[in-house]
A and B are shown apart, each in its own frame.
Chain A
Amino acid sequence: MAVYKHSYSAYTGKVTPAWMRVFVLSRYAFDEAWSSKISIGLLVFCLLPCLTSIVVIYLANNPLAQALVGAKGNQILAIDAAFFLKTLEGQCWLALVLASWIAPRVITFDLADSALPILLSHPISRFGYLFGKFIALFVSLSIVTWIPCLLLFAYEGYSSPIPWVVANLHIAVGLLAGSIIWITLLAFIGLALSSWVKWRVVATGIIFAAVFIPAGVGGIVTAVLRTQWGFLLNLPFMISSLWQRLLGAPAPINPRWSLPTGAIVTMLILACIVCIGMLNKRIRAREVVRG
């Protein structure tokens, strides 16, 4: 086949290994996600709180600044698990905003014009297809969650005059684990809900709704029945509790309303299973005609 000849010839060159095709999907999905200026704007917005955290860490480790704020200020400028919990919470909720925008971009273009029959007619499985999209979303959300959080942790370790890193290594582990749990869940929710909605804007709204409407219902259940189990529908509450335990930060809430870690993990796994079920139903090369 040659452009100037306008004739066809077979391809006889080498082909890439089968496992590489997943990364082809990831690369194109990643490009699609970040091709929008709004995506870039949101990324910048999501990283702004990190700048504040950097300034706080700098001031906390600067003798002049410490002298200026005095003994009371030392409590404000304390860099501990609570500080990183606040940072993680901020970044992870901003990640929800980013996910609600880019998750639909990753998958709805394929579904809007029924590209799945063509995509899946290539040597790629449905699992491979979803895994490729998942990687794109996971990497995108990593940029605003665990990567900046761990960089802040490293900066604190570098800035601190005392050996700080080894003594607080559990915070880094908590930051990484908490972020990964959250962005995995967000990626599943984002992909599952986006696969069922053709319009991106609607998908964005539905992702927010999926997080906050059950939380509202859970709040009503908790208030009416006076039981903490209503919080099992409250994703923000559950994930905040989990982060606090992972980082070993003091509990900011009334212990009477706390949930067992096992129940939280079970609910998060259940949410992922529901999302996988939705994706399994939707991501098909052909719809089965009933009747």
Chain B
Amino acid sequence: MGIIDLDQLEVRLANRTVLNGLTGELRGNAIGLLGPNGAGKSTLINTLLGFHLPSNGTARVFGLDSHRDRGQIRGGIGYMPENDSFIGNMSGVRFVRYMAELAGLPPDVALERAHEALFYVGLGEVRYRKVNSYSLGMKQLIKLAQALAHGPKLLILDEPTNGLDPMARTRMIQLIKDIRKEGSIRLLISSHLLRDIDETCDEVLILKNGQIAALCNIEEERRSNRSFIELETVGATERFSVSIRGLGCECACYPGGRIKLILPDNIEARDLYVIASEQGVQIRRMNQRRDSLEDIFLRAMDNDMERMGNGRLQTQL
């Protein structure tokens, strides 16, 4: 059983299908939720929290139905919304204590955990100030503190680095890494920033137009990826590309002598130089790199799932 199980999940809002037939099992310790605006990331989070009733299919969190058992699910979830969401008239510690009590902590324990959570996220010194006097970064941190205070099993972070300056972002990312490292909390992080997901997550779910464009383990995906090579050549590029295809490379040619190719494990870059030399082609530049999350994301945006299964550069070829 995964942390989150989706089975033909369909959510319709205002006569529009926002999530369409999502099926998948999310097992990672830190799951990234990626997708362009309107892809359905926030709707999926809201559905998992039981705010939206699926029109078809089911979503399960820790094996519990997201709508039927929403009370039980919410008890084990810490949620940090994307937008401003707090009670500005309260002091930081009172706000976090209130949220912890709502999650089921007795008042005295809630107060203790509120102090601890605020110190943990770095708001210890300002915990008696009213929340509406906090800066944007502090507001993000207090949302994280209230999500953590009751010790949830699953922490849902919707755009946690939204609006943060580089230093605050680094601090937030480090906090998320620490929480992940501690091990008792699973994370679901929705973000537009690939770098954030890349740094914090081990599994990624990419949504596009309410459908799953990709669901993969980032580490495994990286390991399975062969080397990408970008070449800039002068000479008989077409003939050269035919020859390197003969070696078993997948490649695509672009104007200006640019070639993108994927090198099989048994072929080395040196072999390309040998072929180029034989055919009188000059290799002016060679750029070798591994697949990044950005590649996975862009590929998911370009191709549908079937195409992905058949080969990465199939569309280009």
- Residues of A participating in the B interface, judged by any CB pair closer than 8 Å: 1-3, 6-16, 18, 21, 24-25, 28, 32, 109-110, 112-125, 284-286, 288-291
Asked whether A24 and B46 contact (CB < 8 A) given A18-B71, A117-B79, A125-B71, the answer is no
On whether the beta carbons of A109 and B88 are closer than 8 Å, the reply is yes
On whether the beta carbons of B104 and A15 are closer than 8 Å, the reply is yes
Task: Give CA–CA (A231, B73) in the complex, Å.
Answer: 50
CB-defined interface of B132-157 with A at 8 Å, one 1/0 digit per residue? 10000000000100101011000000
B178 touches which one: A8, A10, A24, A284 (CB < 8 A)?
Answer: A8
Closest to B143 in A: A118
- In this complex, the member of B51, B88, B117 whose beta carbon has the largest number of chain A beta carbons within 10 angstroms is B51
Task: Give CA–CA (A54, B85) in the complex, Å.
Answer: 48
On whether the beta carbons of A11 and B150 are closer than 8 Å, the reply is yes
Closest to A23 in B: B101
Chain B proximity of A35: nearest CB distance (Å): 9
* Complex interface: chain B residues within 8 A of A288 (CB): 13-14
Judge whether B105 is part of the interface by a CB distance below 8 angstroms: yes
Chain A proximity of B106: nearest CB distance (Å): 6
Task: Give CA–CA (A18, B104) in the complex, Å.
Answer: 7
Judge whether B267 is part of the interface by a CB distance below 8 angstroms: no
Task: Give CA–CA (A119, B103) in the complex, Å.
Answer: 9
On whether the beta carbons of B49 and A121 are closer than 8 Å, the reply is yes
* Complex interface: chain B residues within 8 A of A11 (CB): 105, 109, 113, 150-151
Chain B proximity of A214: nearest CB distance (Å): 32
CB-defined interface of B177-208 with A at 8 Å, one 1/0 digit per residue? 01100101100000000000000000000000
- Residues of B participating in the A interface, judged by any CB pair closer than 8 Å: 13-14, 16, 42, 46, 49, 51-52, 71-72, 74-75, 77, 79, 81, 83-90, 98-99, 101-106, 109, 113, 115-117, 119-120, 124, 131-132, 143, 146, 148, 150-151, 178-179, 182, 184-185
Task: Give CA–CA (A120, B184) in the complex, Å.
Answer: 24
Task: Give CA–CA (A115, B99) in the complex, Å.
Answer: 11
**7 sampled A-B residue pairs with Cβ under 8 A:** A3-B119, A7-B120, A9-B184, A122-B74, A284-B51, A286-B51, A290-B14
Chain A proximity of B268: nearest CB distance (Å): 46
On whether the beta carbons of A8 and B179 are closer than 8 Å, the reply is yes
Chain B proximity of A123: nearest CB distance (Å): 4
Task: Give CA–CA (A7, B143) in the complex, Å.
Answer: 17
* Complex interface: chain A residues within 8 A of B42 (CB): 286
On whether the beta carbons of A291 and B146 are closer than 8 Å, the reply is no
Task: Give CA–CA (A120, B74) in the complex, Å.
Answer: 9
Asked whether A291 and B99 contact (CB < 8 A) given A3-B124, A286-B51, the answer is no
A117 touches which one: B85, B90, B109 (CB < 8 A)?
Answer: B85
Task: Give CA–CA (A2, B182) in the complex, Å.
Answer: 14
* Complex interface: chain B residues within 8 A of A117 (CB): 79, 81, 83, 85
Chain B proximity of A245: nearest CB distance (Å): 42
Task: Give CA–CA (A110, B95) in the complex, Å.
Answer: 11
On whether the beta carbons of B99 and A113 are closer than 8 Å, the reply is no
On whether the beta carbons of B116 and A2 are closer than 8 Å, the reply is yes
Asked whether A10 and B151 contact (CB < 8 A) given A24-B98, A114-B84, A118-B143, the answer is yes
Task: Give CA–CA (A288, B65) in the complex, Å.
Answer: 22
Closest to B109 in A: A13
